[in-house]
C-alpha cells in the first residue's frame, strides 16, 4: 500500500544474541514459507556477506541486496528500500552476528529505520530462560521487538514453556530440530548451487515453520519513504567491456557491484576459468572476484588456456582487478587445505597458503584520490610476497592498518573486497587503468 509518498510494507529485521543461533536458516525458511503463501518477498542482508545472500536469493526467488550503515551508507540503504518497497509485501533483513555486535550494528540499522526486530533463539538447551534472554535483547538498546522465532524446538510442550516465558513478546513461530542442517565450510555455508537437494531442504524448512497466524496478522507495516533516489552515476566506463570470472571458484560478487559497472556504462561479459575459458577477446578489462580457488586449485592449475589468456591480457596492459580469491589465483602458487601446492597464473610474485586460523575479517576502506572505496575482508589464507605494497586499507572503526593493495603492471590485487557503489569514480579508474 502506498500512502503520501510512503509504502506500507511489513518489515522484519531477523537477529539473534549471537552467531550460530540459526538466523540464516530461519530467514530462508520464513522467506520460502511466505512466497508459498503468495506473498511478494524481498530479502536484504545486513553487513558484508556473499554466501548467505545466495541462499536467501534461492529461498525468496529474488536478488538479495546489502544494507549496512557504513559500507553501503544511509542514503543507499534508503534508495534500495525505496526501489523495492512499491512491489513488495514483506521485506526480511537478516542481521549480522548478534543484534548489538559491530559498529554499526543490526540494532543501529533497525533503530535508524524504525524497523521491528524478530529475535531468533536457539531453544535447544533452554526453556523459561528464553524470556530473560529476549527481554534483555529488547531492553538493552532498546529496540522494537516484534516477536521471537524459536529454533531447534524439541516438542509442542517445549514451545509452550518458551512462549510462556516471553510474557508480553509473542512467540511468532517455531522450527524443530533438523535431521539435516545446511552444510558449512570454512567461509560459511556451502554454496546453494553445489547442493543438489537445496530446494527440497528449503521447502521442508518452510513446511516445518509453525506460524502463529494471529501474531503475523498483528504485525504492523513499516512506512518506507519512496522519495529516496540513488545518486546518478556518470558513464565513465561507456564503451568498455569488462570480462568477469564467474563460477564455483569465483562466486563472491555483490549484485550491486555489477549494477554499478552497468550504471558506469560498461558492458559485462562472463567467463569461467574453472571451465578453462580464455579471457574473452573483446574484453577491455578483467574482474576476478573472490570465491573458493582453494577448493579448485588443481583444476585452476591445469587450466592452461585460462592461465595463458590472463597472462596475455596482463602483458597487453588490460586493467585487471583481483579480489581475495581472484588474487590467490594470480599468485605463483596456492597451497590448499591439505598442504598440496599448485602452480597458479603467476602475475603477482608470491605464494598463497591456506591455514585453519582466520587471517582477516571485518569492514575496511581504501582511501583513493576519488574518495573512500569501502568494503570488507574475510579470508583463511596468507600471501607471502616481497612485492612492494601500493596502498593499505584502513580497518573500520579502529583506523588500524588493514589489507595490502598490490600493483603489478596493469594488475591491482588485494584481499580487500570492494563495495563498488561506495565510490564509483574509483571503480571507474581501476577498470580504466588509472592510478587510484
pLDDT digits (tens, 9 = 90+) for 196-217: 688 888 999 999 999 898 999 9
Compute the distance between CA of residue 173 and CA of residue 183 in angstroms, rounded to an integer.
23
* Predicted pLDDT at 2: 61
Q: What is the pLDDT of residue 49?
A: 86
- Percentage of residues in the chain with pLDDT exceeding 70? 95
Specify the range with the lowest mean pLDDT, choosing from 73-87, 190-204, 378-392: 190-204
Closest CA to 205 of 55, 79, 307: 55
Cell numbers for 435: 592510478
Tell me, yes or no, whether 403 lies in a domain.
Answer: yes
pLDDT bin (cut points 50, 70, 90) of residue 318 is very high
% of residues, the chain, pLDDT over 90: 86
The verdict on whether 324 is a catalytic residue reads: yes
Nearest to 221 by CA among 85, 111, 45: 85
Q: For 264-274, how does the pLDDT look when each residue is reduced to its tens digit (9 = 90+)?
A: 999 999 999 99
Q: Over 60: is that where the pLDDT of 410 sits?
A: yes
Q: Does residue 384 fall inside a structural domain?
A: yes
Mean pLDDT confidence for 130-140: 97
Confirm if 57 and 63 have CB atoms less than 8 A apart: yes
Domain with residue 317: its CATH number is: 3.40.50.880
Q: Which residue has the cell 558492458?
A: 267
pLDDT (0 to 100) of residue 5: 80
- Tally of domains within the chain: 2
Retrieve residue 433's grid coordinates.
587503468
Query: What are the residues whose beta carbons fall under 8 Å from the beta carbon of 340, sequence distance 6 or more?
Result: 297, 298
Tell me, yes or no, whether 140 lies in a domain.
yes
Catalytic annotation, pick one of 46, 77, 324, 423: 324
The reply to whether 245 and 208 lie within a common domain is: no
> Using 50, 70 and 90 to split pLDDT, how confident is the model at 1?
low
Tell whether 130 is covered by a domain.
Answer: yes
- pLDDT over 60 at 243, yes or no: yes
The pLDDT score that the predictor gives to residue 51 is 86
Q: Do 220 and 246 sit in the same domain of this protein?
A: no
The cell numbers describing 348, all together, are 603477482
Look at the block and give the residue holding cell 587450466: 303
CA dist list (Å): 99 to 41, 120, 173, 193, 225: 22, 10, 19, 29, 24
Looking at the structure, do residues 347 and 289 belong to the same domain, yes or no? yes
pLDDT score of 435: 75
Range of the domain at 21: 2-225
Please provide the average confidence, as pLDDT, over all residues in the chain. Answer: 93
Give the whole-angstrom CA distance, residue 294 versus residue 300. Answer: 9
pLDDT, position 185: 47
pLDDT band at residue 229, thresholds of 50, 70 and 90?
confident
200 and 131 within one domain:
yes
Decide if 236 is inside a domain. no
Query: Domain check: are 375 and 271 in the same one?
Result: yes
Peptide bond into 142 cis (omega under 30): yes
H or E stretch at 332 = strand 331-335
Look at 60-64, 74-78, 195-199 and tell me which has the smallest mean pLDDT: 195-199
pLDDT digits (tens, 9 = 90+) for 329-365: 999 999 999 999 999 999 999 999 999 988 899 999 9
Q: Report pLDDT for 177.
A: 86
Residue 161 has pLDDT above 90, yes or no: yes
Do 188 and 246 lie in one domain? The reply is: no
pLDDT surpassing 50 at residue 244: yes
Co-location of 221 and 296 in the same domain:
no
pLDDT at 20: 87
Residue 302 banded pLDDT, cuts 50, 70, 90? very high
Q: Which spans in 71-170 are helix H?
A: 74-84, 106-113, 129-140, 156-165
Residue 370 scores a pLDDT above 80? yes
- Residue 93 domain flag: yes
CATH number, domain at 208? 3.40.50.300
Do 221 and 264 fall within a single domain?
A: no
- Interacting residues of 136 by C-beta distance below 8 A, sequence separation 6+: none
CA–CA separation, 249 and 105 (whole Å): 30
Amino acid at each position: 500500500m502506498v500512502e503520501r509518498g510512503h509504502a506500507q510494507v511489513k518489515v522484519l529485521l531477523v537477529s539473534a544474541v549471537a552467531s550460530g543461533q540459526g538466523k540464516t536458516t530461519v530467514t530462508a525458511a520464513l522467506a520460502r514459507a511466505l512466497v508459498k503463501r503468495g506473498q511478494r518477498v524481498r530479502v536484504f542482508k545486513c553487513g558484508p556477506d556473499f554466501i548467505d545472500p545466495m541462499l536467501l536469493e534461492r529461498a525468496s526467488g529474488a536478488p538479495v541486496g546489502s544494507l549496512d550503515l557504513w559500507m553501503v551508507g544511509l542514503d543507499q540503504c534508503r534508495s534500495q528500500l525505496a526501489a523495492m518497497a512499491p512491489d513488495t509485501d514483506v521485506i526480511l533483513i537478516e542481521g549480522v552476528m548478534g543484534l548489538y555486535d559491530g559498529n554499526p550494528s543490526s540494532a543501529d540499522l533497525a533503530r535508524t529505520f524504525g524497523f521491528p526486530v524478530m529475535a531468533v533463539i536457539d531453544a535447544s538447551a533452554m526453556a523459561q530462560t528464553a524470556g530473560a534472554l529476549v527481554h534483555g535483547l529488547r531492553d538493552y538498546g532498546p529496540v522494537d521487538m516484534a516477536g521471537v522465532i524459536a529454533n531447534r524446538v524439541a516438542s509442542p510442550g517445549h514451545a509452550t514453556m518458551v512462549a510462556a516465558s516471553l510474557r508480553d513478546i509473542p512467540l511468532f513461530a517455531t522450527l524443530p530440530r533438523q535431521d539435516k542442517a545446511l552444510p558449512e565450510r570454512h567461509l560459511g555455508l556451502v554454496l546453494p548451487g553445489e547442493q543438489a537437494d537445496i530446494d527440497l531442504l528449503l521447502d521442508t524448512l518452510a513446511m516445518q515453520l509453525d506460524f502463529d497466524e494471529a501474531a503475523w496478522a498483528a504485525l504492523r507495516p513499516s512506512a518506507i519513504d519512496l522519495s529516496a533516489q540513488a545518486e546518478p552515476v556518470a558513464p565513465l566506463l561507456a564503451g568498455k567491456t569488462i570480462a568477469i570470472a564467474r563460477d564455483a571458484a569465483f562466486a563472491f560478487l555483490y549484485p550491486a557491484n555489477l549494477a554499478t559497472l552497468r550504471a558506469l556504462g560498461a558492458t559485462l561479459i562472463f567467463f569461467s576459468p574453472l571451465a578453462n575459458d580464455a579471457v574473452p577477446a573483446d574484453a577491455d578489462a578483467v574482474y576476478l572476484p573472490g570465491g573458493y580457488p582453494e577448493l579448485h586449485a588443481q583444476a585452476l592449475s591445469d587450466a592452461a588456456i585460462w592461465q595463458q589468456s590472463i597472462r596475455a591480457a596482463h602483458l597487453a596492459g588490460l586493467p585487471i582487478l583481483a579480489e581475495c580469491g581472484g588474487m590467490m589465483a594470480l599468485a605463483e602458487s596456492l597451497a590448499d587445505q591439505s598442504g598440496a601446492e599448485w602452480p597458479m597464473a603467476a602475475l603477482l610474485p608470491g605464494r598463497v597458503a591456506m591455514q585453519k586460523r582466520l587471517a582477516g575479517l571485518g569492514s575496511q576502506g581504501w582511501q583513493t584520490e576519488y574518495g573512500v572505496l569501502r568494503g570488507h575482508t574475510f579470508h583463511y589464507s596468507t600471501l607471502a610476497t616481497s612485492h612492494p605494497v601500493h596502498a593499505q586499507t584502513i580497518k573500520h572503526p579502529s583506523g588500524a592498518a588493514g589489507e595490502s593493495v598490490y600493483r603489478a603492471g596493469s594488475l591491482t590485487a588485494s584481499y580487500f573486497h570492494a563495495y563498488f557503489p561506495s565510490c564509483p569514480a574509483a571503480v571507474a579508474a581501476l577498470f580504466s587503468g588509472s592510478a587510484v
